[in-house]
Structure 1
């Protein structure tokens, strides 16, 4: 299938992206909405998730992406593959993460990944990076103890900044001080694989959410069913 052409970067601070998304009714999205959920923030074209959804059908997958045409394309591919445990949502994660987290079935979110986010190299643009203190605070409010948060980048400064922001929050602890030498997930993103193929480094870290006060948003009434 020909790939849709999009701009490489989108300014998340522009007026168009300031309004939070209204989450869908998850019972109409997933065949089994009470399966554990993997949330991928900044999923781009979504290939990582549609491969994962086929590999682990007893999980549900949710990809957030700010480029609308990529979301439309990804959901079309999902439908062609007949995957009922996968959904892509067009939104700005920084403004929409709270209502999304509040809407998910209680305790079902078990894994979060943030992989190769836009680096925004210029100092004046770094406020556009996705891992901001507000995003970390929202994740801390809603993630159950034991939830994994996996971050990685091929830009060391970006990876360091992501790790610093999670490490600074008492709700998260890093599993090891050094960079992970291997991806703890069974699949690699396209960007990760291309970086490895060029023999360039990937900077990875895994965080675990600890005990926290329950968020103030309206939580979903359904409870996650785990094996």
Structure 2
């Protein structure tokens, strides 16, 4: 009789030891900056073996922690390409597709979701992409502390957390204070592109963007824009459309 192979025991990781020692840090900015109301919640979900392998092998080359301790040289990082900042990329499928479709633009993609970070690194490697970098941490600290004025040729915020309860509206990312900060990091003429399937949030986005003096609507008569061809239809978006959700795109130019 042939005995079945025994399962290999998984080594125990001591409490407090980082899961990926050479990968993204659990809290890269630490206590260097003030605590404030955040627009995101870190999501804890299982990292697949493939995602973990990508984090271990590729983070040192294509990843960076948002520690707020230095100003990034985007020109050196992306070989002189114009750079677009994407805030919140989920599992990274749309980001990888946009990077593949437009290799002449660099994408600095920010998220705090470890499985998504690993997945985007894996997708970029498989597609041979050299114009994607994955940033781990708080996008506000990145904008405020680590990017130079006029450094960005665009900003993308696709399907941010809508924080639907009224008492949580203060957590929404697209607020006048955020727009004032991000405007200082965008060159004149750069476009801020937001998309959401949550109608009340879309209305708020349109209101605050229209009122902000640093931005002008790319739609001549105001209002929402058609989905541009460069923004892929994501799986999440398709599910929303199947459920009757209406997706709104907003494209506002830095004046």
Query: How does the TM-score come out when normalised to structure 2?
Result: 0.66
Question: Does residue 145 in structure 1 map to residue 188 in structure 2?
Answer: yes
Q: Which residue of 2 aligns with 1:96?
A: 142
Does 1:67 find its partner at 2:113?
yes
The 1:172/1:53 distance shift into structure 2, 3 A limit, reads: same
**1:200 counterpart = 2:245:** yes
Partner of 2:203, secondary structure, is helix
Q: Which runs of 5+ in 2 are unaligned?
A: 1-36, 43-65
Give the structure, 1 or 2, with the largest relative contact order (CA under 8 Å, sep 6 or more): 1
Q: Cα distance 1:141–1:200, how it changes in 2: closer, same or farther (>3 A)?
A: same
Structure with greater Cα Rg: 2
1:38–1:189: structure 2 CA closer, same or farther, 3 Å change rule? farther
Residue 157 of structure 1 aligns with which residue? 200
Paired position in structure 2 for 1:82 = 128
Could you tell me which residue of structure 2 aligns to residue 223 of structure 1? Answer: none
CA contact (8 A) 2:94 2:231 kept: no
Counterpart mapping for 1:44-59 below 5 A: 44-59=90-105
Deviations 1:47-91 (CA, angstroms, capped at 9, x unpaired) = 111111111111111111122332233223323332111011111
TM-score, normalized by length of structure 1?
0.73
Question: Could you tell which deviates more after superposition, 191-200 or 57-66?
Answer: 191-200
Contact 1:35–1:108, Cα closer than 8 Å, also in 2: no
Say how many residue pairs are matched. 193
**Does residue 1:39 correspond to 2:85, yes or no?**
yes
